[in-house]
Amino acid sequence: MSADVRVRFAPSPTGPLHIGGVRTALFNYLFAKKHNGTFILRIEDTDQNRYVEGAEDYIVESLNWCNIPYDEGPGKDGVYGPYRQSERKNRYKKYALQLIENGAAYYAFDTPEELATARENAEANKETFIYNHHNRLNFTNSLTLTESEVQERMDRGDDYVIRFKPEIKTLFIFDEIRKGIEIDTSLLDDKVLFKSDGMPTYHLANIVDDHEMKISHVIRGEEWLPSMALHVLLYESLNWDAPKFAHLPLILKPTGKGKLSKRDGDKMGFPVFPLEWNPENGEKSSGYREDGYLPEAVVNMLAFLGWNPGTEQEIFTLDELVQSFSLDHVNNSGAKFDPEKTKWFQQQWFVQQDDAVVGTAFAKALQAKGIEYGSEEFVNIVVGLVKERAVFVEDLFELAGFFFTAPIEFDEKAASKSWKEDTADIMNNMIAVIQKTEDDSAVGLSDAVKGWIKEQEMGFGKVMMPLRLSLVGSLMGPDVFEIASLIGKQETVRRIQFAIEKLG
Ligand code: GLU
């Protein structure tokens, strides 16, 4: 591949970025990095009616959180900027005029009312209304008016649009993922390229910018596949080389039926956005970041939505993804979103982290809840003992909360199973054993207590279960002597005494 790979992610800032959009950005990023190319962010904000405050910042923050920053884009001006279409407004009209000159476009003066009537008439005849070669001569446009009539209308300030006039032929287009497709262009409509408000439509702005920004590959969602023929025709009509195209498969609901939507996430309890979205006057939506997911896990999961490495390997760092990525391994059928698999990726990434990294996050979470944790070192050791069983930092409260706060309640089932009539006496005797022990390491405590149990010829469970219950409040947790050693002899004794008081 040539060294000049330039790809772009071109979202419209109409709200929070769906994870499908993040997947598109990721595949563009991977493709760019794989080929030492450039990854560009272009904000397609020509439709001011759909513009949503904060959406652009959200997009940038999402890419940064995923560790897939853009090389060129808003705030990172390269030679091809500006990167917001609203700041490129004045560039588009000349191309619309060039198309008119080339005979590939025309002015149309039809009013919204006239078009509505035409649509109603078509519907009355059970036809879908389409404005193209079969009826364009019935409308008010520069193909039916004389040059001076057109001029007259413009001079008096009539609204007009510029429409495309597709050449009628069998068009062969090639998609890197779908391969060759044959299109009968007589089925296309005469798309509006330039609107009466002086702004281009998506189609014109998109191809002009891709051309001016020297985009080599357009990698985008499958919902744009139906526009590809029009885009290719536009390039042809402007005598420009078209970029290569790759349309990524849709992300489907967990059931496999239809596109994944925010509603699916709400219903089944998973986010469909990378970050939380909390508009001032609007509905709040959850995000992967705030739900405790690691960006590495989210990226890994997204990579597998529509791509596969062709091997059994499933855990990939971003660098490994860059090395392995190729469009040849992108599927052409929809990718089912699987919330359980997403959790699995998170779990895999979570346990791989250093104890100190998880420890820092957990310490912060403890602090936020006003729980004293002593030192970070202590938290790190605790994390090392329980990390394997956690998927999120939040899980550590349940798995390890007792290291920081003594139980005040005891799990009822566990208590009735482990605390018998003679337990209080046994526990009192054990307190004496623990107090006598000089070595208060986990091994030291274990040797002392286990030695004593053997001496007394008691069953292990009779002692170990109530001991655990006293320290933890339930019968779960890591090695009980690790716990005792970490919280210290004094606290261990205090907790046993409390249990005796409470359970009798
Ligand atoms: N602005 C379009 C979108 O919102 C871009 C489509 C494309 O990549 O061409 O997805």
Rounded Cα distance between 94 and 292, Å, is 49
Examine residue 332 and state whether it is found in any structural domain, yes or no. no
pLDDT by residue (tens digit) across 98-145? 999 999 999 999 999 999 999 999 999 999 999 999 999 999 999 999
What pTM value is reported for the model?
A: 0.93
Q: What is the CATH number of the domain that holds 214?
A: 3.90.800.10
Say whether pLDDT at 414 is over 70. Answer: yes
Nearest in space to 108 (alpha carbons), one of 158, 60, 42, 74: 158
- Note whether 242 and 169 are same-domain residues: yes
Answer yes or no: do 282 and 362 share one domain.
no
Among 179, 213, 248, identify where a domain stops.
248
**Per the domain annotation, does 288 fall within a domain?**
yes
115/230 same-domain check: yes
Query: What is the DSSP track for 85-107?
Result: GGGSGGGSHHHHHHHHHTTSEEE
Domain finish residue from 212, 231, 248: 248
What is the residue range of 467's domain? 412-503
**Do 181 and 128 have their domain in common?**
yes
Let me know whether 79 and 15 are in one domain: yes
User: What is the whole-number distance in angstroms between the Cα of residue 176 and the centre of ligand 1?
Assistant: 18
Q: Which residue in 34, 93, 262, 489 is the catalytic one? A: 262
Same-domain pairing of 38 and 162: no
User: Ligand 1: which residues within 6 Å by Cβ?
Assistant: 10-12, 44, 206, 220, 224
| Residues in Cβ contact with 318 at an 8 Å cutoff, skipping those fewer than 6 apart | 67, 68, 296, 299
Give the residue from 261, 284, 303 where a domain finishes.
303
Residue 262 marked as a ligand binder: yes
Q: Which atom of ligand 1 is nearest to the CA of 11?
A: 4
Q: Whose alpha carbon is nearest atom 10 of ligand 1?
A: 11
- Same domain membership, residue 242 and residue 107: yes
The pLDDT score that the predictor gives to residue 1 is: 56
Query: Are 73 and 97 found together in one domain?
Result: no
Pocket test for ligand 1, best of 19, 31, 224 (most atoms within 8 A of CB): 224
Q: How many domains does the chain have?
A: 4
Helix %, strand %, coil % of the chain (to 5): 50, 10, 40
172-213: pLDDT as tens digits: 999 999 999 999 999 999 999 999 988 999 999 999 999 999
Residues 244 and 103 in one domain: yes
Question: Looking at the domain assignment, is residue 1 inside a domain?
Answer: no
**CATH code of the domain in which 428 resides:** 1.10.10.350
Q: Which of 9, 70, 220, 247 to mutate to test the pocket of ligand 1 (most atoms within 8 A of CB)?
A: 220
pLDDT at 70 over 70: yes
Q: Quickly count: other Cβ atoms within 10 Å of residue 137's Cβ.
A: 9
pLDDT tens for 208-265 read 999 999 999 999 999 999 999 999 999 999 999 999 999 999 999 999 999 999 999 9
Name the residue among 189, 180, 178 with its Cα closest to residue 227. 189
Tens of pLDDT, residues 22-66: 999 999 999 999 999 999 999 999 888 888 999 999 999 999 999
Looking at the structure, do residues 230 and 119 belong to the same domain, yes or no?
yes
Query: What digits encode the pLDDT tens for the residues 442-454?
Result: 999 999 999 999 9
DSSP string, 377-397: HHHHHHHHHHGGG-SSTTHHH
Residue 179 a catalytic site member: no
